[in-house]
Chain A
Amino acid sequence: MIDLKNVTFSYDNKMIINNLSLNIKKGDKIGIMGESGSGKSTLLKLLAGLYRAESGTVTVDGETEPEAISRKVSVVMQSPMLLPLSIYDNITMGHKYPDSQVERVVKMARLSNWIETLPDGLNTYLGDRADELSGGQAQRIAIARAMCKDSEVLLLDEPASALDSENSKSVLEAIMDYAADKTVVHVTHQAQHLEGYTRIYSLRDGELI
């Protein structure tokens, strides 16, 4: 499903990823740990097609071009980036998904209870008030967005690091319930977030250990 061969990437003349190779099979749950600045977010962005490797190849679901890779993956970032749109549009990003699918992901992302309290429900306009949402609510919308795209590959960049322990547990449970049959790569510096993962690596000096 994911194959990295001798991938190298540097930034400002500093080697971030050094000749890294990794093979991930369909349905694998891979955890990558590392200190801040160790390059784990860079690695995730290479896997998401947001960066192009300087050398080596990144193959995701048969695609090698970054733009094509981006179409094949879903990503949940550390800080959820919401747009001044309705909750519905933030989840679907303007794509036409069946209502049943949107309702399903809203439920899976554990947004239902909160949305029911809103007068306009899913059509509530976040607009410039996106920052009034709690971190948990915003992150759940971002998760629902990733679930709605329903890619085979789910990439997680510390999705729960900015949340309190209760929200963090709930968000991670929601993700794992959804991603039971997906290929997951989760980068974090918190080992407890990687319970039950197939393999856990540590990223140091641009290399996986």
Chain B
Amino acid sequence: MNRKVRKILEETGMTKDFILVMILRAPFDFINAILSANMLETFIRLAERREEGELLPAFGMFLLFTVIMFGYNMFVWAFVTMKINIRFIKKLRMRVYKSLLKRTGQEMEELSAGDWISRLNSDIDKTDLYLVGPLNFMHLLIAAVNMTLSAAVLFILNRTMLAASLIMTLPFFFLSSVVVIRKIPVFKKNSREHYAKYTNWMEPVIAASESIRIFDGSEIVRAKVEEESLKIMKNNMKAHKRTALASGINTFSGMTGYLLLLFLGNSMMGNELEDFARMMKITQYRGEMMKSVMMTNNCIGRMKGNLPSAERVEEVL
């Protein structure tokens, strides 16, 4: 987690609560992976042994585990995370307002009204998104746990498959997260600054509406507002393009990796090194690993997009 975001958590006194949420949520995807992999292996083995009578009890058992898992996830998400999230937003807003009210007039004048307004509104919301929003920090953590543990299981099950997966994944992962996504915070920071300038126009447009009408100033106001709005859009588009490119790289890496896996799996089964049921289990863990890599990449991209807002909030604190 970014140092400034950690500081925000400390300032709001919510560090322990977030650690609790992290512990509760982190293992979900991996437990789900174990469940799916074992279910697939069990069903295939039962079918291969023609033990059709065992299919229904096995199905019932996995259904029960699945329901428990999703019930647990729903409980953690809807009750624990939501409650902590609401408290965090409330505390952060209060803390930012408190810090603002302590400032002298001179300090307040260091930033424009639009800048203050955007820090108080959308920047706080984006800080929250960074922490608990979809495909942000919380999902990064879940993905990291799933990726590490799935890789560990693959290491035990079949090292060749793990090596093949890593060879097809790591270069693309670094290309995507280090080269492509790196610039996103710069674009997002620019976008936030233009958003502040755009917000700056709201007050004068409302307060000076009569002057604008009398002196026929709507054209220059429209042009200036449009100029800022375009700058926001351009920077967001640049960030969006990077995210799309990273996503494309991930998909390419996933597909090529899958083809390699099919090829390797086929020859391993042909040489009777693995049977079909176990190969399906391996495929499942490899799938989880790939899914987590993609998720990690997406999370990093989005977190980088929200980070400038969190930094702007931290500056106020």
Contact = CB atoms under 8 A, between A and B. Distances in A.
Interface string A77-95: 1000111110001000111
Q: Is the interface of B mostly helix, strand, loop or mixed?
A: helix
Interface of B: 109, 112-114, 200-201, 204, 207-208, 210-217, 219-221, 223-224
A85 B224 contact: yes
B216 A95 contact: yes
A84 B201 contact: yes
20 contacts: A45-B210, A48-B214, A50-B213, A71-B216, A74-B215, A75-B211, A75-B214, A77-B210, A77-B211, A81-B210, A81-B211, A83-B221, A85-B224, A89-B220, A93-B212, A93-B216, A94-B219, A95-B216, A129-B109, A145-B215
Contact of B214 (A70, A89, A129, A130): A70
A128 B114 contact: yes
Interface residues of A, number: 27
Interface string A1-28: 0000000000000000000000000000
A83 B213 contact: no
A93 B201 contact: no
Contacts of B216: 71, 93, 95
Given A70-B213, A84-B201, A94-B219, A128 B207 contact: no
A131 B112 CA distance: 11
B223 A94 contact: yes
A85 B220 contact: yes
Interface string A125-144: 00111111000000000100
Contacts of B221: 83, 94
A77 B221 CA distance: 19
Contacts of A175: none
A149 to B, nearest CB: 6
- 10 smallest beta-carbon distances between A and B, as pairs: A94-B220, A81-B208, A128-B112, A93-B217, A93-B215, A81-B211, A83-B204, A75-B214, A70-B213, A128-B200
